[in-house]
Chains A and B, each alone.
Chain A
Amino acid sequence: IAGITQAPTSQILAAGRRMTLRCTQDMRHNAMYWYRQDLGLGLRLIHYSNTAGTTGKGEVPDGYSVSRANTDDFPLTLASAVPSQTSVYFCASSDSDGGLNEQFFGPGTRLTVL
Protein backbone atom coordinates (compact mmCIF):
# COMPACT_ATOMS: atom_id res chain seq x y z
CA ILE A 1 0.00 0.00 0.00
CA ALA A 2 1.31 3.48 -0.81
CA GLY A 3 -0.59 6.41 0.67
CA ILE A 4 -4.33 6.05 1.17
CA THR A 5 -6.61 3.44 -0.32
CA GLN A 6 -10.39 3.38 -0.38
CA ALA A 7 -12.83 0.60 -1.19
CA PRO A 8 -15.02 0.13 -3.05
CA THR A 9 -14.24 2.41 -6.00
CA SER A 10 -17.93 2.73 -6.72
CA GLN A 11 -21.17 1.25 -5.45
CA ILE A 12 -24.86 1.32 -6.25
CA LEU A 13 -26.95 0.77 -3.17
CA ALA A 14 -30.66 0.35 -2.50
CA ALA A 15 -32.16 2.83 -0.05
CA GLY A 16 -32.38 1.44 3.46
CA ARG A 17 -29.32 -0.79 3.10
CA ARG A 18 -26.30 -0.58 5.37
CA MET A 19 -22.95 0.20 3.77
CA THR A 20 -19.39 0.57 5.04
CA LEU A 21 -16.79 2.51 3.07
CA ARG A 22 -13.27 1.45 3.86
CA CYS A 23 -10.19 3.65 4.18
CA THR A 24 -6.63 2.59 4.99
CA GLN A 25 -3.44 4.65 5.14
CA ASP A 26 0.15 3.51 5.57
CA MET A 27 1.76 6.87 6.34
CA ARG A 28 1.28 6.58 10.13
CA HIS A 29 -0.66 9.84 10.09
CA ASN A 30 -2.46 10.54 13.35
CA ALA A 31 -5.43 12.43 11.87
CA MET A 32 -7.99 11.08 9.39
CA TYR A 33 -11.06 12.61 7.77
CA TRP A 34 -14.13 11.70 5.74
CA TYR A 35 -15.53 14.21 3.25
CA ARG A 36 -18.33 14.16 0.74
CA GLN A 37 -18.12 16.11 -2.50
CA ASP A 38 -21.24 17.18 -4.36
CA LEU A 39 -21.47 19.16 -7.58
CA GLY A 40 -21.35 22.90 -6.95
CA LEU A 41 -20.42 22.50 -3.29
CA GLY A 42 -17.09 22.41 -1.55
CA LEU A 43 -15.81 19.34 0.22
CA ARG A 44 -17.86 18.90 3.38
CA LEU A 45 -16.44 17.22 6.46
CA ILE A 46 -18.53 14.30 7.74
CA HIS A 47 -16.42 12.95 10.60
CA TYR A 48 -12.81 13.15 11.66
CA SER A 49 -10.37 11.48 14.03
CA ASN A 50 -7.41 13.30 15.54
CA THR A 51 -5.85 10.09 16.84
CA ALA A 52 -6.61 6.39 17.16
CA GLY A 53 -9.46 5.81 19.62
CA THR A 54 -11.07 9.25 19.18
CA THR A 55 -13.58 10.59 16.66
CA GLY A 56 -15.45 13.85 16.14
CA LYS A 57 -18.38 15.18 14.15
CA GLY A 58 -17.87 17.43 11.18
CA GLU A 59 -20.25 19.69 9.29
CA VAL A 60 -22.61 16.96 7.99
CA PRO A 61 -22.47 13.93 10.34
CA ASP A 62 -26.13 12.86 10.35
CA GLY A 63 -26.70 9.37 8.94
CA TYR A 64 -23.01 8.44 9.18
CA SER A 65 -20.83 6.83 11.82
CA VAL A 66 -17.10 6.14 12.07
CA SER A 67 -14.66 4.22 14.22
CA ARG A 68 -10.89 4.44 14.67
CA ALA A 69 -9.69 1.25 16.28
CA ASN A 70 -6.11 1.72 15.06
CA THR A 71 -3.92 4.28 13.29
CA ASP A 72 -4.31 2.89 9.79
CA ASP A 73 -8.05 2.29 9.33
CA PHE A 74 -11.01 4.68 9.39
CA PRO A 75 -14.22 3.09 8.07
CA LEU A 76 -17.35 5.14 7.38
CA THR A 77 -20.74 3.45 7.86
CA LEU A 78 -24.11 4.45 6.48
CA ALA A 79 -26.57 2.67 8.77
CA SER A 80 -29.59 3.06 6.47
CA ALA A 81 -28.74 4.72 3.17
CA VAL A 82 -30.94 7.43 1.69
CA PRO A 83 -30.82 8.95 -1.83
CA SER A 84 -29.43 12.25 -0.48
CA GLN A 85 -26.29 10.34 0.46
CA THR A 86 -25.50 9.86 -3.22
CA SER A 87 -22.10 11.52 -3.52
CA VAL A 88 -18.38 11.03 -3.97
CA TYR A 89 -16.72 10.21 -0.67
CA PHE A 90 -13.08 11.04 0.01
CA CYS A 91 -10.98 9.84 2.90
CA ALA A 92 -7.95 11.93 3.86
CA SER A 93 -5.18 11.87 6.42
CA SER A 94 -2.65 14.30 7.83
CA ASP A 95 0.20 14.46 10.28
CA SER A 96 -1.28 17.08 12.59
CA ASP A 97 1.55 17.03 15.14
CA GLY A 98 2.97 20.37 14.08
CA GLY A 99 4.19 21.25 10.63
CA LEU A 100 2.13 21.93 7.55
CA ASN A 101 -0.84 19.69 8.35
CA GLU A 102 -1.37 19.05 4.65
CA GLN A 103 -4.13 16.55 3.97
CA PHE A 104 -3.52 13.61 1.63
CA PHE A 105 -6.57 12.18 -0.12
CA GLY A 106 -7.60 8.71 -1.17
CA PRO A 107 -8.96 8.08 -4.69
CA GLY A 108 -12.60 8.35 -3.59
CA THR A 109 -15.70 6.16 -3.56
CA ARG A 110 -18.58 7.06 -5.87
CA LEU A 111 -21.80 6.02 -4.11
CA THR A 112 -25.25 6.02 -5.68
CA VAL A 113 -28.27 5.36 -3.47
CA LEU A 114 -31.45 4.47 -5.33
Chain B
Amino acid sequence: GQNIDQPTEMTATEGAIVQINCTYQTSGFNGLFWYQQHAGEAPTFLSYNVLDGLEEKGRFSSFLSRSKGYSYLLLKELQMKDSASYLCAVMDSNYQLIWGAGTKLIIKP
Protein backbone atom coordinates (compact mmCIF):
# COMPACT_ATOMS: atom_id res chain seq x y z
CA GLY B 1 0.00 0.00 0.00
CA GLN B 2 0.96 3.64 -0.19
CA ASN B 3 1.96 5.44 2.97
CA ILE B 4 3.19 8.86 4.00
CA ASP B 5 4.38 9.33 7.59
CA GLN B 6 5.04 12.59 9.38
CA PRO B 7 4.88 13.58 13.06
CA THR B 8 1.46 14.62 14.30
CA GLU B 9 2.59 17.68 16.23
CA MET B 10 5.76 19.66 16.95
CA THR B 11 6.50 22.65 19.16
CA ALA B 12 9.23 25.24 18.58
CA THR B 13 10.26 28.64 19.84
CA GLU B 14 10.00 31.91 17.94
CA GLY B 15 13.29 32.69 16.21
CA ALA B 16 14.50 29.09 16.31
CA ILE B 17 14.86 26.42 13.59
CA VAL B 18 12.61 23.39 13.19
CA GLN B 19 12.85 20.35 10.92
CA ILE B 20 9.70 18.43 9.95
CA ASN B 21 10.38 14.94 8.62
CA CYS B 22 8.39 12.92 6.10
CA THR B 23 8.93 9.32 5.04
CA TYR B 24 7.05 7.71 2.20
CA GLN B 25 6.33 4.43 0.47
CA THR B 26 4.45 4.90 -2.78
CA SER B 27 3.88 3.15 -6.09
CA GLY B 28 6.20 5.24 -8.19
CA PHE B 29 7.60 8.70 -7.55
CA ASN B 30 7.10 11.85 -9.57
CA GLY B 31 8.01 14.44 -7.01
CA LEU B 32 7.38 15.45 -3.42
CA PHE B 33 5.45 18.54 -2.36
CA TRP B 34 5.20 20.46 0.90
CA TYR B 35 2.12 22.56 1.62
CA GLN B 36 1.26 24.89 4.48
CA GLN B 37 -2.25 24.96 5.92
CA HIS B 38 -3.38 27.49 8.51
CA ALA B 39 -6.33 26.46 10.67
CA GLY B 40 -9.60 26.81 8.79
CA GLU B 41 -7.90 27.65 5.52
CA ALA B 42 -6.88 25.90 2.30
CA PRO B 43 -3.46 24.32 1.78
CA THR B 44 -0.95 26.54 -0.05
CA PHE B 45 2.12 25.36 -1.94
CA LEU B 46 5.53 25.73 -0.28
CA SER B 47 8.07 23.59 -2.13
CA TYR B 48 8.70 20.81 -4.61
CA ASN B 49 11.53 18.29 -4.86
CA VAL B 50 12.00 15.74 -7.61
CA LEU B 51 15.79 15.27 -7.48
CA ASP B 52 17.88 14.44 -4.42
CA GLY B 53 19.20 17.38 -2.50
CA LEU B 54 18.21 20.62 -0.91
CA GLU B 55 15.91 23.29 -2.35
CA GLU B 56 16.06 26.64 -0.58
CA LYS B 57 13.37 29.32 -0.67
CA GLY B 58 14.00 32.13 1.77
CA ARG B 59 13.41 30.91 5.32
CA PHE B 60 12.13 27.56 4.08
CA SER B 61 14.20 24.69 2.68
CA SER B 62 13.19 21.20 1.62
CA PHE B 63 15.41 18.14 1.28
CA LEU B 64 14.83 14.88 -0.57
CA SER B 65 16.52 11.48 -0.55
CA ARG B 66 14.73 9.19 -3.00
CA SER B 67 16.79 6.12 -2.05
CA LYS B 68 15.69 6.50 1.59
CA GLY B 69 12.10 7.56 0.84
CA TYR B 70 12.71 10.59 3.01
CA SER B 71 12.20 14.33 2.95
CA TYR B 72 12.33 17.14 5.45
CA LEU B 73 11.11 20.71 5.57
CA LEU B 74 13.39 23.13 7.41
CA LEU B 75 11.98 26.38 8.72
CA LYS B 76 14.44 29.00 9.96
CA GLU B 77 13.95 32.17 12.02
CA LEU B 78 10.53 30.99 13.09
CA GLN B 79 7.76 33.56 13.31
CA MET B 80 4.42 33.28 15.09
CA LYS B 81 2.70 33.28 11.70
CA ASP B 82 4.46 29.99 10.91
CA SER B 83 2.07 28.25 13.32
CA ALA B 84 0.20 25.98 10.92
CA SER B 85 -0.02 22.42 9.68
CA TYR B 86 2.58 21.28 7.18
CA LEU B 87 1.48 18.65 4.68
CA CYS B 88 3.82 16.29 2.84
CA ALA B 89 2.52 14.83 -0.43
CA VAL B 90 4.07 12.49 -3.00
CA MET B 91 3.05 12.31 -6.64
CA ASP B 92 2.76 8.63 -7.54
CA SER B 93 3.12 6.76 -10.83
CA ASN B 94 -0.40 7.85 -11.87
CA TYR B 95 0.49 11.51 -11.22
CA GLN B 96 -1.91 11.61 -8.27
CA LEU B 97 -0.89 13.19 -4.96
CA ILE B 98 -0.76 10.91 -1.90
CA TRP B 99 -0.99 13.03 1.24
CA GLY B 100 0.36 12.66 4.74
CA ALA B 101 -1.92 13.56 7.66
CA GLY B 102 0.09 16.72 8.30
CA THR B 103 2.28 18.02 11.11
CA LYS B 104 0.78 20.69 13.36
CA LEU B 105 3.54 23.14 14.25
CA ILE B 106 3.04 25.23 17.38
CA ILE B 107 5.28 28.27 17.81
CA LYS B 108 5.79 29.63 21.32
CA PRO B 109 7.10 33.12 22.11
A residues lining the B interface (CB < 8 Å) = 40-45, 48, 58, 90, 96, 100-108
B96 to chain A, nearest CB (A): 6
Distance of A96 Cα from B91 Cα, bound (Å) = 12
A44→B99 contact, CB < 8 A: yes
A103→B97 contact, CB < 8 A: yes
Interface contacts beyond A45-B96, A103-B45, A104-B45: sample of 16 additional A-B pairs, CB < 8 Å, sorted by A: A42-B4, A42-B99, A42-B100, A43-B43, A43-B89, A43-B97, A45-B97, A58-B96, A90-B42, A96-B95, A102-B45, A102-B48, A105-B42, A107-B41, A108-B41, A108-B42
A100→B48 contact, CB < 8 A: yes
Contact partners of B41 in chain A: CB under 8 A: 107-108
Count how many chain B residues have C-beta atoms less than 8 Å from C-beta atoms of the other chain: 20
